[in-house]
Chains A and B, each alone.
Chain A
Amino acid sequence: MTPEEKYELFEKHCSQELSINEKARLTKLLQDDDVLKEELKMYQEAHSHLDRRFNSEKEQATLKKNLESIGSQFFSKQENNEKTKKEVNQEIKEKSKVIKMPSWVYAVAASVAIIIGAYFFNQNDPVYHDYADIPKLSIVERGGQEESIKNAEKAFNSKNYVVAEKYLSALLSNDKNNSEYQFYYAVSLLEQNKHIEATQAFKMLHQGKSVYKHKALWFEALNQLKQKRYDQCSKLLKKLPKEAEDYNNAQKLLKKLN
């Protein structure tokens, strides 16, 4: 058998195109030939490798992109946690330095405390700014540094939401399914009190399957809070599942609202 015949037989075997006669022939040939068996195995492996490679390239690229964004988020969150831990430690250290104060200081401190207390006491309704903890946007990737991505990040993180909205909207026009852009775009709207548009954007994210699914619901609740629509806000808060990152905050806010 020539190599040509052999490979053609293998190919027909892989694509299930062998005739009954060819099948019988191949089975017979394979019977006592370990080398041929090994070759066929290898051929099948190459076949399935190529099949997967050319048919899941796109899928793999999408997964990779998603992992990149989830990974970056996870790592920046970790970094923040570490920083907060350090800051707290520092604070504790500073606080533990006991300084003797003259007694009048206590009197002043006490009256300040009363004033502050009275101030907060009068504020019955919870407000947006007590709860909105706006995450930092970090989308700049190593290597390919696209100007508009950098600008979006810079504007958002420096709270210039008008400019951030503009850049994020431009980024979305090229990559409209990017949930990270969508989320930060929605937050930019919310910060500018563009409530209706923000609602639309959060709703879309919440209905999707991205990592921002729960975050979007939480922020939409805050959007309602900012508009003092407390009933609407409670309703949304109750929908937030236990596994959501903001679940505890949501419970606290719910208690205040009731």
Chain B
Amino acid sequence: MGNIKPHTDQKYIEALLKNDSLLLKEIYEKFAPKVINYIKSNTGDDQSAQDIIQETLITIYKQAKEKGLQLTCPFDAYFFLLCKRKWLNELKKSAKKEVTINEEIVSVNDESVRFVEETEIFNAKHELFTEMFDQLGKACKELLKTTFMIKSMEEVASKLGKSYGYIRKKKSLCIGQLTKLVQNSPKYNQIQNLL
């Protein structure tokens, strides 16, 4: 995808990265009404709509930050689909299974579906990493936090009174342990199956 020109709606992704209030406001004004309408006609209320919209925007931000998301499709369809699927998941979780979903016909092209799926996989992985990180031992958690927050490993080493090589080795073992936890989790296979 490297040399494909991003869509003009890429500006909304940039707005999230830059926390640009004017454009963020525009996102709400332009794209929220459709989402609210959908959620409200499917047993939700204003409050749930506000939450879903906010969570979705944060997810997009995270993906943009970590993976450099480059939209080549309109923001509209991408955002609406993400919100919609998030809401359906919420409904499933809260076991309101008897709800009848009022399907709205939205023109969705393959490209926006591809972006939506990418974002969902990213989000699922992100959550899994976060969950597994919490399962690491206290020492590992702290070491990782310190080594990633203080960029210079030399500084970390002198702060902890250990050698550079020792810290790097410890850090690599902790990350290794994290990857094992993730790979062995049943959720990981579920995510892989989505790919």
Contacts and interface: CB of A to CB of B under 8 A. Distances in A.
Nearest to B177: A7
Given A48-B66, A49-B126, A51-B148, A209 B22 contact: yes
A69 B125 CA distance: 28
A63 B169 contact: no
B179 A43 contact: yes
A63 B19 contact: yes
Given A43-B176, A45-B125, A49-B129, A210 B169 contact: no
A47 interface: yes
Contact of A52 (B19, B25, B66, B169): B66
Interface size class of B (residues with CB under 8 A): 35 or more
Contact of A64 (B49, B53, B58, B173): B58
Interface string B27-49: 01100100010000000001001
Nearest to A69: B21
A4 interface: yes
Given A4-B169, A63-B58, A74-B29, A46 B182 contact: yes
Contact of B176 (A3, A45, A52, A64): A3
B20 interface: yes
Contacts of A11: 168, 171-172, 175
A132 interface: no
Given A46-B182, A55-B149, A67 B24 contact: yes
Contact of B50 (A6, A59, A71): A71
Contacts of A3: 173, 176
A131 interface: no
Contacts of B183: 42
A133 to B, nearest CB: 18
Contacts of B28: 70-71, 74
Contacts of B124: none
A10 B172 contact: yes
B84 interface: no
B163 interface: no
Contacts of A43: 175-176, 179
Contacts of A12: 168
Interface residues of A, number: 45
Interface string B139-155: 00000110011000100
B80 interface: no
Contacts of B62: 52, 60
Contacts of A48: 66
B190 to A, nearest CB: 16
B182 A42 contact: yes
A254 interface: no
A8 B179 CA distance: 14
Contacts of B13: none
A17 B153 CA distance: 12
A35 B169 CA distance: 22
A60 B183 CA distance: 27
B57 interface: yes
Contacts of B168: 8, 11-12, 15, 17
A231 interface: no
B54 A75 contact: no
Given A45-B125, A79-B46, 5 more contacts: A8-B169, A8-B172, A10-B175, A46-B129, A63-B16
24 contacts: A6-B176, A7-B172, A7-B176, A10-B175, A10-B176, A39-B179, A46-B178, A46-B182, A50-B178, A52-B65, A55-B149, A59-B19, A60-B62, A63-B16, A67-B24, A67-B54, A71-B28, A71-B50, A72-B50, A74-B28, A74-B32, A75-B50, A210-B21, A211-B25
